[in-house]
Structure 1
Amino acid sequence: MKKAVLLLLFFGIVACTSESLSVKQATALINDHTEKYPYFEKATLQLGEQKFRVKKDSVELSVLKNLASQGFITFNTLNARKKLLSKDSVQVVTIALTANASKYVVNQKKNKAEIKTFLFTIQENSDVQLELNNKTKATATAKLIKQPTPFAGLVKDKNANSEFITQKFVLKYKKETGWYVQK
Structure 2
Amino acid sequence: MKKIVFLALITLIAVSCKDKTSINADEAGKEVTKYLQSNPEYKTGKVSVGELKFNSEKEYKELEVYQKLEQEGYIGLTRVNAKKKFLSKDSSFVYMVKLTDKASAFVLKQQKDNATVKAVVYELSDEKPVDFSMVNSSSAKITVTLKKVNTPFSFFEKNPDDSADFINKTYRLKYKKETGWSVTR
Counterpart amino acid of 1:48?
Answer: G
Residues 8/121 of structure 1: CA separation in 2 closer, same or farther (3 Å cut): farther
Aligned residues: 178
Give the conservation status (yes or no) of the 8 Å contact 1:46–1:112.
Answer: yes
1:114 equivalent in alignment to 2:86: no
Structure label with greater radius of gyration: 2
- Structure 2 counterpart of 1:179: 181
For structure 1, the residue ranges without an aligned partner over 5 or more in a row are none
Instruction: List aligned pairs for 1:65-144, cutoff 5 A.
Output: 65-81=67-83, 88-144=90-146
Query: What is the aligned-residue RMSD (CA, Å)?
Result: 2.6
Query: What is the alpha-carbon distance in structure 2 between the residues aligned to residue 6 and residue 136 of structure 1?
Result: 25
Match of 2:48 in 1: 46
Task: Say yes or no: does 1:152 pair with 2:154.
Answer: yes
Are the aligned partners of 1:171 and 1:180 in contact in 2 as well (CA < 8 Å)?
Answer: yes
Distance in 1 of aligned mates of 2:40 and 2:49: 25
- Aligned counterpart, 2:15: 11
1:82, distance to aligned residue in structure 2 (A) = 5.9
Q: Residues 26 and 128 of structure 1 are in contact (CA less than 8 Å); yes or no, is this contact kept in structure 2?
A: no
Give the AA of the match of 1:71: G
TM-score calculated relative to the size of structure 2: 0.81
The answer to whether the 8 Å contact 1:72/1:101 transfers is yes
Return 5+ residue gaps in structure 2 as ranges: none
**Partner SS for 2:171:** strand
AA aligned opposite 2:34: D
SS in 1 for 2:120: strand
TM-score by length of 1: 0.82
Task: Using the TM superposition, give the Cα deviation of residue 124 of structure 1 relative to its aligned residue in structure 2, in angstroms.
Answer: 2.0
Moved more, 111-120 or 131-140: 131-140
Q: Secondary structure at 1:56's aligned position in 2?
A: helix
The amino acid that maps onto 1:148 is: N
